[in-house]
């Protein structure tokens, strides 16, 4: 027993430099976020002069933000867009990943390789044609205008496809023998088994949708349709900037994704692990 404890102590001692390094990196990682919190409680002058600690101006900043911007509209817009995009995107891409991997043929593999190339297309290149397309479909300033171009992404399809490699094919065969139609195999067997992948893909999609900037800047021109990132970018590029209020906005823009990440972090890690196998 004592020997084992000694050995453990020795190991821990050898790990001290690791701990120090990790603590430094963690502090650097968390510090700007900590500062975002404290800045949201300070006045604009205090923020501009780089005050470090919490202040007493939080309520004031919040009130200014609510009074001067469409905070709740933007917040619920961001939420609706991100939720719609996450739900539909997971469905469409998991279905495709399932089809590509578990029904794979040479033709499908070739198609997949072609689709992967879409990952490299720069956003600025497709922005103008996409806008024209959306405006012809009368989808400017709507949730569909926002989500349609991002519903099917090669990255998500690839993620589901990779994760499906470990999917037990025997389960499918058993289901077929039981007379389950093909589409029900997806819903009743594949989806429950792939929970972790859905969680990881969900987190990534939700964050991407919530944080999108370039495309919403183009497709959401009305104040009533704008999202949180647009709201805070507008606050920051306005003629007079209230930094306390801005940081309160930044806080509101960041909290939902942080919370979602905290709730789903375990499943997220599992899902990613499956994806890189």
Least CB distance from residue 128 to other proteins, whole Å?
A: 6
User: Which of 43, 56, 75 lies closest to 247 in space, CA to CA?
Assistant: 43
Q: Which of residues 192-221 bind other proteins (CB under 8 A)?
A: 195, 198-199, 207, 210-211, 213-214, 218, 221
Q: Which of residues 112-141 bind other proteins (CB under 8 A)?
A: 115, 117-133, 135-136, 138, 140-141
Q: Which of residues 55-114 bind other proteins (CB under 8 A)?
A: 68, 72-73, 76-77, 79-80, 83-84, 86-87, 92-93, 95-96, 98-100, 102-105, 108, 111
Per CB under 8 A, does 168 bind other proteins?
no
CA–chain centroid gap for 125, Å, is 23
Q: Are 219 and 137 in contact (CB under 8 A)?
A: no
Per CB under 8 A, does 184 bind other proteins?
no
List the structure tokens of 266. Answer: 């375990």
Pick 128 or 174: Cβ nearer other proteins = 128
Least CB distance from residue 56 to other proteins, whole Å?
A: 19
Number of helices followed by number of strands (H, E) in the chain? 16, 0
Q: Which of residues 227-266 bind other proteins (CB under 8 A)?
A: 228-229, 232-241, 243, 246-247, 250, 253-254, 257-258, 260-265
Per CB under 8 A, does 142 bind other proteins?
no
């Amino acid at each position: 027993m004592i020997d084992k404890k000694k050995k453990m102590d020795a190991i821990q001692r050898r790990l001290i430099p690791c701990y120090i390094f990790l603590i430094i990196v963690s502090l650097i990682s968390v510090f700007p976020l900590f500062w975002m919190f404290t800045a949201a409680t300070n006045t604009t002058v205090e923020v501009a002069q780089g005050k470090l600690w919490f202040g007493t101006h939080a309520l004031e900043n919040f009130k200014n933000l609510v009074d001067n911007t469409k905070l709740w509209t933007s917040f619920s817009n961001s939420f609706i867009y991100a939720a719609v995009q996450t739900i539909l995107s997971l469905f469409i891409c998991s279905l495709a990943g399932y089809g590509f991997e578990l029904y794979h043929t040479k033709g499908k593999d070739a198609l997949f390789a072609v689709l992967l190339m879409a990952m490299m297309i720069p956003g600025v290149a497709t922005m103008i044609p996409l806008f024209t397309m959306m405006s012809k479909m009368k989808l400017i300033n709507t949730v569909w205008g926002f989500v349609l171009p991002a519903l099917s992404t090669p990255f998500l399809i690839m993620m589901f496809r990779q994760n499906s490699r470990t999917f037990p094919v025997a389960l499918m065969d058993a289901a077929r023998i039981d007379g389950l139609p093909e589409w029900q195999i997806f819903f009743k067997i594949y989806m429950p088994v792939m929970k972790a992948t859905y969680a990881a893909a969900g987190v990534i999609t939700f964050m991407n949708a919530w944080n999108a900037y370039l495309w919403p800047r183009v497709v959401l021109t009305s104040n009533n349709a704008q999202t949180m990132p647009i709201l805070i970018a507008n606050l920051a590029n306005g003629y007079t900037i209230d930094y306390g209020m801005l940081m309160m906005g930044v806080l509101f823009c960041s909290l939902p994704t942080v919370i979602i990440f905290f709730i789903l972090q375990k499943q997220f890690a599992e899902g990613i692990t499956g994806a890189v196998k």
